[in-house]
């Protein structure tokens, strides 16, 4: 893993941007990032800093967004990370907890009202899902008639799940939560290192009679922890987000262009002229990042191409995400796949139903089918990789 989940490229920018901006636009001004490890911390800090960029982007005057980070203290679970941050920064207010690998559209005002009306110790945002097989990946809640959580089962089999209401990883905690680990059952959890919200803390709070309520949420929510859910989220939000949220400067039919500079506008005009002349084919919903070069006879359908990517002559890209600063060699095909950052793909390559990690080099005449290639690998020319993991 060479990138934290929060910094994964998502619709041509880091995922954390969608989370922070979604909350900041609803009035949140204080952010505390519960990060551990060098890669997680440095990536987030170098990108977000102390909040100045977000303050500027939102055009705030007279107030500012502040971003602070977990100190260099190891945590044994996400609940302990929250405890460390609350103790270190002396937080004695309600705290909204959001996992760093989700995208959502929760109305915070409605959530806040609900939490207060219920006089809730902890409110968990729940989402009903249709695919029962996916229940095994989440915590699942059983509700009483007043929406108090009666039972919470972490990652059950579909036959053992008490409902189809899954934990989104979004919580609203009362100020009293800070003291939970100082006494009684909370202290025992701390001593045993049982400090994961889903596996340990939530079931124990319910068992001990704390007021834990479920807020059933109807809007969109995606956990992007797998390539399948990542692609599902990308292509759903590509359709529903506004140009402002996508940072799109111009839309030509289903093609969304990023970039505001004069050079970006010139490149955009060139692409549209070539599209109308039949030199390239762009179909469906497409997001093109800044300074993307498209060679002759390129065909792109329902895909996302990130900044500074070169797509050579005769390339076909369908239902895929190609991240920033990639090079795709001539007559290659990328279908239903995710290609990571700074990847170099040779000529006559087929990448289908696969994931290629950051900084991978793929030689000419290679086939990668139903496979995953981890970051920083070299795939030799004329190789065939099928149903494999290259780690």
Say if residue 224 is in the same domain as residue 284: no
Instruction: Note the pLDDT tens digit of each residue in 29-39.
Output: 999 999 988 98
Position 2 scores a pLDDT of: 67
To the nearest 10°, the Cα dihedral for 36, 1, 78, 8?
100
* Domain span including residue 54: 5-239
Position 185 scores a pLDDT of: 96
Say if residue 32 is in the same domain as residue 173: yes
In this prediction, residue 3 has a pLDDT band, given cuts at 50, 70 and 90, of: confident
Please name the residue that has the structure tokens 């929510």: 221
Say if residue 272 is in the same domain as residue 313: yes
Say if residue 225 is in the same domain as residue 331: no
Count of domains in the chain?
2
Integer angstrom CA distances of residue 51 from 134, 270, 291 = 36, 36, 27
Model-level pTM? 0.93
Say if residue 40 is in the same domain as residue 103: yes
Domain end marker among 239, 268, 293 = 239
Q: Name residue 283's beta-bridge partners.
A: 301
Say if residue 131 is in the same domain as residue 156: yes
Say if residue 159 is in the same domain as residue 221: yes
Instruction: Note the pLDDT tens digit of each residue in 93-106.
Output: 999 999 999 999 99
Q: Tokens at residue 189, please?
A: 């959890």
Q: What percent of the chain has pLDDT over 90?
A: 95
Say if residue 143 is in the same domain as residue 273: no
Instruction: Note the pLDDT tens digit of each residue in 249-266.
Output: 999 999 999 999 999 999
Rounded mean pLDDT of the chain?
96
For 292-311, what is the mean pLDDT?
98
Integer angstrom CA distances of residue 58 from 54, 61, 96, 116, 381 = 6, 9, 21, 28, 47
Integer angstrom CA distances of residue 87 from 40, 84, 182, 208, 296 = 21, 5, 11, 23, 58
Say if residue 97 is in the same domain as residue 188: yes
- The angle subtended at Cα 32 by Cα 207 and Cα 60, nearest 5°, is 130
In this prediction, residue 199 has a pLDDT band, given cuts at 50, 70 and 90, of: very high
Q: Which of 358, 319, 287, 322 is nearest to 39 (CA)?
A: 358
Domain end marker among 206, 239, 272 = 239
Instruction: Note the pLDDT tens digit of each residue in 377-389.
Output: 999 999 999 999 9
Say if residue 131 is in the same domain as residue 235: yes
In 49-193, alpha helices (H)? 52-58, 78-88, 108-117, 184-192
Say if residue 269 is in the same domain as residue 136: no
CATH of residue 327's domain is: 2.160.10.10
């Amino acid at each position: 893993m060479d990138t934290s989940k929060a910094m994964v490229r998502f619709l041509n920018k880091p995922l954390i941007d969608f989370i922070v901006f979604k909350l900041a636009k609803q009035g949140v001004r204080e952010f505390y990032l519960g990060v551990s490890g060098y890669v997680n911390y440095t990536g987030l800090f170098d990108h977000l800093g102390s909040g100045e960029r977000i303050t500027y982007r939102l055009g705030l005057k007279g107030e500012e967004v502040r971003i602070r980070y977990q100190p260099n203290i190891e945590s044994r679970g996400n609940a302990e990370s929250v405890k460390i941050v609350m103790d270190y920064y002396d937080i004695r207010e309600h705290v909204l907890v959001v996992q760093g690998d989700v995208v959502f559209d929760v109305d915070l005002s409605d959530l806040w009202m609900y939490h207060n009306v219920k006089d809730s110790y902890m409110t968990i945002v729940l989402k009903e899902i249709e695919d029962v097989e996916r229940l095994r990946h989440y915590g699942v809640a059983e509700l009483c008639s007043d929406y108090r959580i009666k039972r919470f089962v972490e990652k059950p089999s579909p036959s053992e799940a008490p409902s189809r209401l899954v934990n989104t990883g979004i919580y609203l905690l009362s100020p009293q939560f800070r003291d939970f680990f100082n006494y009684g059952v909370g202290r025992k959890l701390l001593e045993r290192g049982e400090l994961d919200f889903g596996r340990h803390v939530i079931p124990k709070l319910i068992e001990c009679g704390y007021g834990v309520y479920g807020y059933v949420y109807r809007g969109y929510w995606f956990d992007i922890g797998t390539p399948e859910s990542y692609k599902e989220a990308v292509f759903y939000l590509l359709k529903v987000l506004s140009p402002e949220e996508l940072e799109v400067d111009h839309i030509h039919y289903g093609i969304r262009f990023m970039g505001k500079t004069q050079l970006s506008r010139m490149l955009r005009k060139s692409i549209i002229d070539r599209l109308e002349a039949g030199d390239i084919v762009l179909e469906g919903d497409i997001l093109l990042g800044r300074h993307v070069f498209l060679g002759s006879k390129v065909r792109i359908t329902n895909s996302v191409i990130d900044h500074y990517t070169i797509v050579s002559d005769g390339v076909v890209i369908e239902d895929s995400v190609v991240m920033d600063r990639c090079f795709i060699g001539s007559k290659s095909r990328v279908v239903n796949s995710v290609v990571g950052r700074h990847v170099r793909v040779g000529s006559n390559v087929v990448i289908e139903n696969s994931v290629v990690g950051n900084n991978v080099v793929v030689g000419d005449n290679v086939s990668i089918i139903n496979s995953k290639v981890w970051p920083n690998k070299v795939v030799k020319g004329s190789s065939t990789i099928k149903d494999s993991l290259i780690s």
